[in-house]
Amino acid sequence: MGLLTILKKMREKERELRLLVLGLDNAGKTTLLKRFNGEDVTGTAPTLGFNIKTLEHRGFKLNVWDVGGQSSLRSYWRNYFESTDGLVWVVDSGDRERLQLCGKELRGLLREERLAGATLLVFANKQDLPGALPASAIREALELDSIRSHHWCIQGCSAFTGHNLLPGIDWLLDDIASRVCPPD
Amino acid sequence: MPVRAFILTSLLQISFFSGIMDKYQEQPHLLDRHLEWMMTLLLDIVRDNGSPPQLVHLAFKFLYIITKVRGYKVFLPLFPHEVRDLQPVLDMLVDQNPKDPETWETRYMLLLWLSMICLIPFDLARFDGNISEEEHTRVPTMDRILAVAKCYLVVSDKARDAAAVLVSKFIVRPDVKQKRMADFLDWTLSMISKSSFQSMEGTVVMNGMLQALAQLFKHAKREDCLPYAATVLECLDNCKLSESNQMVLRKLGMKLVQRLGLTFVKPKVAKWRYQRGCRSLAANLQAQGSVVQSQMTTVAANEADDEEEYDIPGEIENVVEQLLVGLKDKDTIVRWSAAKGIGRITGRLPKELADDVIGSLLDCFSFQETDNAWHGGCLALAELGRRGLLLPSRISDVVPVILRALTYDEKRGACSVGSNVRDAACYVCWAFARAYDPTELIPFINQIASALIIAAVFDRDVNCRRAASAAFQENVGRQGTFPHGIDILTAADYFAVGNRVNCYLTISVYIAGFPQYTQPMIDHLVNMKINHWDSVIRELSTKALHNLTPRASEYMANVVLPRLLPLSVGTDLHTRHGAILACAEITHALCKLAEENNRSITHYFDEKSLEGLKQIHEEVCIKYKCLIPFMFFTVSAGWQWLINDSLRSLTFASSTARQHIKESAVSALAALCNEYYINEKGEADSALQDELVTMYVSELQNTEEMVRCGFSRALGALPRFLLKGRLQQVLEGLKQVTLISPGNVSFAEARRDALIAIAKVCQTAGVKGEGSQEEYVCKDNVAQIYAMLLNGVTDYTTDSRGDVGGWVREAAMRSLMEVTLLLVQNEAELIDANICKQIMCCVAQQSAEKIDKFRAHAGSVFLALLHFDHPPIPHIPHREELERIFPRSEKETLNWNAASEAFPRITQLLALPAYQYSVLLGLSVSVGGLTETTLRYSAQSLFDYMKKIQNDSSALESFCETLLKVFEDNLRNDRVSVPLLTMLDQMLANGCFDTFTMQENHPFPVKLFTLCKEEIKRSKDIRKLRSSIGEPSTGTSVFAFPQHLELRFPGHCPAQSVFFPVFSRFCGLIQFQGDMREKVFFQLFLLLCHPFPVIRKTTASQVYEMLITYSDVLDPAIMDSVLTILSDTNWEAELPVVREKRNCLCDLMNVPKPQLPPSPFSCTASKGDLSW
Ligand SMILES: Nc1nc2c(ncn2[C@@H]2O[C@H](COP(=O)(O)OP(=O)(O)OP(=O)(O)O)[C@@H](O)[C@H]2O)c(=O)[nH]1
Ligand SMILES: [Mg+2]
């Protein structure tokens, strides 16, 4: 295998990203994925297993993994960490009661070795709901500013309407693409 | 369903599917948008309980073909993976027969599918419900999966790989890990320790276990594996895989050992990895700082500087050690794996340890190490480089090594190895670009840039040139500090460097226009390329030096030329060849330059060089550009020595180089003699002449063929004043070269060159009938000259190279023509009738032979002699008839190359008594030959001729007499006799001799039969024998004959042997009346008991066919019995059985029984005797 083959493979690899979408149950992960894929978003049922969607965006091939967020399933999340380029953390901005829990789960993930090189995008979802907390409040509640280990960004959005989904994903892709050396 | 089945089976039948899939090999991602519907279609079949098993297997075969193209990682997510999929897939898998070789694809795909389903976030225990008391025999799902996985880890087909994938996904599940991981690891380790890679089964088991472990340690969470890592490493050490000759096992060993290593140390995220993220050329060109700030709230990670302190386990040293050994492995794949491992592990080590690794790595680059070590070392450096692990303090150690690797070229026999090393060195340079801050590379930038340019333009191998171009581009893009980077990149991009000639001759000149690259490029050519093992490279690089001379004329004149001069008299042939050419090219370029600038050439040469060039005028330099190096030595080192030595050294040059060296040396010689060996009176210096001619003639007897070639041609090139007084000595010397003696049969090239030289010498000497034979071609030596040349036309030497005698015959005919034309234009009376007849006959014979190229050459010589007019050649036999057969009007259009045109003409010469023998001799080789077109047209022409003379009994008699004479003269001369017999056979079958069949005991068939018997007697050649009773007794399958036999007796007819269908078969002779018939039967019955069963069988079936064909030869009363014995006997049975049957035939037909010879050994074919 000569340099030219290596470069070809590398280019292919760089064009193909793995994104892991996590968050508490009912956060809107599956809705977000469907919206992004242009599917009907009404009548989404809780995810009991996991979904994988392959999307094309800006010349990237995105393998997006969406795993159910119910508490019984969370211990299985670690099955999906491997070679993750980007972590999308979805928050139900209207779910004030569980923000505390939400922050705890997120910090647990960030300690994971196998997610060490991944970029973090937080979606403050359901901004369309009347009582939704703004992104800045979520940022504070989740103590994002204390994160030192990962590149991160928070984006208020609505998976239901599709509002602000693209800017979030674009930031994520830009960040990942500007890495020189992919993690092992 | 039936529709689907139909679609599928028919698809498979025409194997279009696979073919279509292959088309996606290059760009498999194009397949992605089709994956989903293909999957749906196939999985519907698989999941349909009603599908017959064959159909299900078929569907899995298709799925496999798709994964093969696209890779299972892409494909896997498309498999349904819900909780409800688990049971059916597992059940299906359990139902499979692990050993069925027809359906491994099914098992492979099912295992992969199961591995996907295992990812469900769902406790497996919930499948089993509460296993109640009475059901306690039911196995829990977890164990069922484990059992299947274990079962397939030890199979020898591809299902094993899938089982390893399944294990890695399954064992790491939280529930399984807790309950079964330890057990599973125990199991793998015990399996490994029980097996040995020395045995087949052991290899299979180890392969499965190592794959499983490597996958497991790769995918599982590090902390989960850590407790087991040391034990596994110990077990792996005990295997001593590096001693296995199974590449796969060594590769798996590398994979596992690095995964173990990675388990011992925590990952680190490289801090710099975003800092040089600007990969696009365009972006780099833009003014920096115009980066639009995102309105989104982003916080750059503050990767703390504090390197967490923790103990690195001692095992790491062991792991790194093994990986370093792996870098030198003989297989690229193993080296690759090791290099990646080094990169990965070093990335997790603290600085000091990482630096130690680099230190050990640099040991790969020493003179003792092989190209494998260099390659592995480069790969590892590149892996470290692109991870930013080569600390700035190490750059100064690494760069010199890489610069050497970029031109690495180790001689191995006739060529060299190292292109993989050079390619990997480009990879290192490419990695530098990504990993280093430009300021760190600045001190080395000129060296690296020059080396990459040199590789991109001057590497012999297109892949290396392209790799260098890619590395250069990466550096220009990311570092932005390569001098003139963008200009150069435009000229030497990926596509441009594809064409080597263009690289050497054009692109190099452009790049050398940038002063910092000029000298490095020239130095590289002089040091590394003009002495290259590949002569094409040597020549190209000297031409490149020519083109580069205007860029650095002073440097060329003052530094390069003085350096080249001693090299051109060195001992290394490649260097000498390159240096001589280079001197010539550079001097020529300098001369042109001087002329253009209206300067004296002295402008470019210092005192020392001038001393050598003093007597050579500028004009001479330009006129004899190829001679310039020889000119140098004329004065300085002694030209004679150089030319003579070049000629003597021909043996060591490659065959293409030989021709080149020979020709340039010979033309140099001619020019130089004219220049320097002539005195004012136009005569030779007699002492010098004596020395030169005597030495040259004595070299003609050198034991090296190439030396004979060289000096023959050199004598041919001598000017007249050097030949004068020495002609006999020269001709006699050349004559000796043309003679074949036992020691030099294969010296065809020498004989060719000597024959060419003879004509040249004659032309140079000139003709004077009454002159001295020491000075002219004259009446005293003309016969001797012709004898040499005519003798050359009879050279039919063959060896492993084929008909090498053809070169000699071709040269001899050309020389015959040249000498004859020379004579006729000067003193035509020197050509007497006898010589003329000999010339014309031997050329006519060649004109009827089988090889198109030589026949065409002979034809053109024949016509040139016939049609020559200034004046016409005297004494050509049958000139009038010939002029009719070959009218001058067709001189230009007649195509001798085409058998269809040549043979109808040349066979007409059969009617001319003077030519009959020669033409028939030539024809028999063609008619009985192998080439179908030759054979068809020559045979047709011959039969046409025979038909014409059927009623002309005197013509027929004379023809047959000649035919027998040809046969008799060539008995046991296989080159002629074998095809001649085939020709006879065809003539018999075509009724050419029907006239004689009416006459009892006509002498022709009797004589023919005697000759046949003589020919076959004691023949050891099974091909000849088999053909003697060959197939096409009716003549219809003549053309298919060799193929038939080859098909039927493949074992006896090695494909590489040129197949000669041989004999005039006895079967054909049977039609003649009289004793003949009985003799023929007797011979055939001998063959019925031949030691070779093949021959017995063939004989029997031939006799059978013959009896049916010529039904009147047997008494109808016995016909049936005879035919029954022939057809019902197993002629391949034991000899005694066969002999008994044969004797029955003898009794029936009243033919004497052949008797067994007394010798007990004569039954073995190896004795070479035929036993009857
Ligand atoms: N109003 C509003 N509702 C949303 C939005 N996104 C999701 N929902 C709703 O929230 C509910 C849960 O959405 P899902 O996409 O199923 O949530 P999930 O994160 O996939 O949940 P699990 O699969 O159980 O982990 C659904 O009823 C969605 O319609 C949003 O942006 N706005
Ligand atoms: Mg969901």
Min distance B272 CA to chain A CA atoms (Å): 8
Nearest-angstrom CA–CA distance, B885 and B847: 14
Please name the member of B122, B304, B466 whose beta carbon is closest to the beta carbon of A4: B466
- CA of A24, closest atom in ligand 1: 25
Q: What is the pLDDT of residue B1090?
A: 73
For chain B, percent of residues with pLDDT exceeding 70: 77
Nearest-angstrom CA–CA distance, B438 and B444: 10
Evaluate whether B69 touches B25 at the Cβ level (below 8 Å): yes
Nearest-angstrom CA–CA distance, B389 and B396: 14
- Identify from B115, B120, B279 which residue to disrupt to test chain A contact, counting A C-beta atoms within 10 A and taking the largest count: B120
Nearest-angstrom CA–CA distance, A35 and B189: 49
Q: What is the pLDDT of residue B529?
A: 92
Which chain B residue's Cα is nearest to A69? B121
Q: What is the pLDDT of residue B161?
A: 93
Name the pairing type of β-strands A60-67 and A50-57: antiparallel
Tell whether the model's pLDDT for residue B259 goes beyond 90.
yes
Query: If pLDDT is split at 50, 70 and 90, which confidence band does B134 have?
Result: low
Residue labelled with tokens 């002699």:
B865
Q: How far is CA B984 from the centre of its chain?
A: 40
| Contact with chain A for residue B459, Cβ under 8 A | no
Q: What is the pLDDT of residue B519?
A: 94
Q: What is the pLDDT of residue B409?
A: 87
Q: Residue B911 C-alpha to ligand 1 middle, in angstroms?
A: 105
pLDDT in tens, B965-997: 998 888 878 788 778 877 877 777 677 777 776
Average pLDDT of the residues of chain B: 78
Q: What is the pLDDT of residue A82?
A: 84
Nearest-angstrom CA–CA distance, B457 and B544: 11
Q: What is the pLDDT of residue B1062?
A: 28
Residues B41-68, mean pLDDT to the nearest whole number = 83
Residues B154-166, mean pLDDT to the nearest whole number = 93
Q: What is the pLDDT of residue B569?
A: 64
Three-state secondary structure call for residue A64: strand
For residue B1019, give both structure tokens: 């023949």
Tell whether the model's pLDDT for residue B420 goes beyond 70.
yes
Residues B1109-1123, mean pLDDT to the nearest whole number = 76
Higher pLDDT, B413 or B1073: B413
Q: Residue B1011 C-alpha to ligand 1 middle, in angstroms?
A: 104
**Whether residue A26 has its Cβ less than 6 Å from ligand 1:** yes
Q: Residue A105 C-alpha to ligand 2 middle, in angstroms?
A: 17
Residues B202-225, mean pLDDT to the nearest whole number = 93
- Containing H/E element for B1079? helix B1075-1088
**Whether residue A69 has its Cβ less than 6 Å from ligand 1:** yes
Higher pLDDT, A60 or B455: B455
Tell whether the model's pLDDT for residue B651 goes beyond 60.
no
pLDDT in tens, B77-125: 888 888 888 999 999 999 999 888 888 999 999 999 999 999 998 888 8
Q: Radius of gyration (Cα) for chain B, nearest Å?
A: 42
Tell whether the model's pLDDT for residue B301 goes beyond 50.
no
Three-state secondary structure call for residue B1158: coil
- Cβ atoms within 10 A of the Cβ of B826, count? 14
**Whether residue A128 has its Cβ less than 6 Å from ligand 1:** yes
Nearest-angstrom CA–CA distance, B71 and B85: 22
Three-state secondary structure call for residue A89: strand
A70 is catalytic: yes
- Cβ atoms within 10 A of the Cβ of B574, count? 21
Nearest-angstrom CA–CA distance, A71 and B922: 97
Q: Distance from first CA to last CA of chain A, Å, rounded? A: 19
Higher pLDDT, B457 or B135: B457
Residues of B in contact with A67 (CB under 8 A): 121
For residue B195, give both structure tokens: 């097996």
**Whether residue A39 has its Cβ less than 6 Å from ligand 1:** no
Q: Residue B398 C-alpha to ligand 1 middle, in angstroms?
A: 55
Q: Is the peptide bond before A130 cis (omega within 30 degrees of 0)?
A: no
Evaluate whether B740 touches B750 at the Cβ level (below 8 Å): no
For residue A118, give both structure tokens: 């991944």
Residue labelled with tokens 């027969």:
B97
Please judge whether A77 and B299 are an interchain contact, meaning their C-beta atoms are less than 8 angstroms apart.
Answer: no
Min distance B659 CA to chain A CA atoms (Å): 37
Residue labelled with tokens 């004012």:
B680
Evaluate whether B1041 touches B1065 at the Cβ level (below 8 Å): no
Higher pLDDT, B222 or B1171: B222
For chain B, percent of residues with pLDDT exceeding 90: 29
Q: Residue A31 C-alpha to ligand 2 middle, in angstroms?
A: 7
Q: Name the binding residues of A for GTP.
A: 23-30, 69, 125-128
Query: If pLDDT is split at 50, 70 and 90, which confidence band does A7 have?
Result: confident
pTM above 0.90, yes or no: no
- Containing H/E element for B337? helix B332-346
> If DSSP states are collapsed to H, E and C, what string results for A140-181?
HHCCHHHCCCCCEEEEECCCCCCCCHHHHHHHHHHHHHCCCC
Please judge whether A79 and B267 are an interchain contact, meaning their C-beta atoms are less than 8 angstroms apart.
Answer: no
Which chain A residue's Cα is nearest to B420? A2
For residue B619, give both structure tokens: 């004009």
Please judge whether A183 and B269 are an interchain contact, meaning their C-beta atoms are less than 8 angstroms apart.
Answer: yes
In single-letter form, the type of residue at position B357 comes to V
Tell whether the model's pLDDT for residue B292 goes beyond 60.
no
Query: If pLDDT is split at 50, 70 and 90, which confidence band does B788 have?
Result: very high
Please name the member of A75, A135, A179 whose beta carbon is closest to the beta carbon of B277: A179
Tell whether the model's pLDDT for residue B492 goes beyond 90.
no
Please name the member of A50, A76, A151 whose beta carbon is closest to the beta carbon of B301: A151
**Among A26, A42, A91, A128, which residue has the most ligand 1 atoms within 8 Å of its CB, making it the best to mutate?**
A26
B41 to B5, B30, B74, B111, B113: CA distances (angstroms)? 11, 19, 18, 20, 16
Please judge whether B332 and A178 are an interchain contact, meaning their C-beta atoms are less than 8 angstroms apart.
Answer: no
**Whether residue A71 has its Cβ less than 6 Å from ligand 1:** no
Three-state secondary structure call for residue B849: coil
Please name the member of B279, B296, B423 whose beta carbon is closest to the beta carbon of A171: B296
Please judge whether B221 and A78 are an interchain contact, meaning their C-beta atoms are less than 8 angstroms apart.
Answer: yes
Tell whether the model's pLDDT for residue B286 goes beyond 70.
no
B745 to B67, B738, B742: CA distances (angstroms)? 60, 10, 6
| Contact with chain A for residue B292, Cβ under 8 A | no
Higher pLDDT, B1057 or B58: B58
Q: Residue A31 C-alpha to ligand 1 middle, in angstroms?
A: 5
- Identify from B119, B426, B466 which residue to disrupt to test chain A contact, counting A C-beta atoms within 10 A and taking the largest count: B119
* Annotated catalytic residue, options A54, A70, A149, A161: A70
For residue B348, give both structure tokens: 């997790």
| Contact with chain A for residue B308, Cβ under 8 A | no
Nearest-angstrom CA–CA distance, B451 and B619: 39
| Contact with chain A for residue B82, Cβ under 8 A | yes
Ligand 1 atom 7 nearest Cα: A28
Nearest-angstrom CA–CA distance, B1011 and B991: 20
Task: Please give the interface size between A and B, counted as residue pairs whose CB atoms are below 8 Å apart.
Answer: 141
Residues in chain B: 1172
Lowest mean pLDDT among B47-51, B274-278, B567-571, B879-883: B274-278
Nearest-angstrom CA–CA distance, B277 and B291: 13
- Identify from B298, B340, B344 which residue to disrupt to test chain A contact, counting A C-beta atoms within 10 A and taking the largest count: B298
pLDDT in tens, A105-129: 999 999 988 898 899 999 999 999 9
Lowest mean pLDDT among A20-29, A93-102, B26-35, B334-343: B26-35
Q: How far is CA B681 from the centre of its chain?
A: 57
Min distance A91 CA to chain B CA atoms (Å): 17
pLDDT in tens, B834-852: 999 999 999 999 998 888 8
Please name the member of A1, A67, A149 whose beta carbon is closest to the beta carbon of B301: A149
Please give the ipTM for the structure prediction.
0.86
| Contact with chain A for residue B226, Cβ under 8 A | no
Q: Which among B1077, B1106, B894, B1090 has a CA at the least distance from the CA of B1001?
A: B1077
Q: Which among B441, B438, B437, B439 has a CA at the least distance from the CA of B402?
A: B441
Tell whether the model's pLDDT for residue B723 goes beyond 60.
yes
SS3 content of chain A, % helix, strand, coil (to 5): 35, 25, 40
Residues 418-447 of B with CB under 8 A from A: 420, 423-424, 426-427, 430, 434-435
Q: What is the pLDDT of residue B422?
A: 94
Tell whether the model's pLDDT for residue B297 goes beyond 80.
no
Average pLDDT of the residues of chain A: 89
B692 Cβ partners below 8 Å, 6+ apart?
B640, B677, B722
pLDDT in tens, A132-181: 999 999 999 999 999 888 889 999 999 999 999 999 999 999 888 887 66
Q: What is the pLDDT of residue B235?
A: 92
Q: Which among B1085, B1082, B1080 has a CA at the least distance from the CA of B1063?
A: B1080
Q: Radius of gyration (Cα) for chain A, nearest Å?
A: 16
A14 Cβ partners below 8 Å, 6+ apart?
A177, A182
Which residues are placed with Cβ below 5 angstroms of ligand 2, an ion?
Answer: A 29-30, 47
pLDDT in tens, B1036-1065: 222 222 332 333 333 332 222 222 222 334
φ/ψ region of B1079 (left if φ > 0, alpha if ψ in -120 to 50, else beta) reads alpha
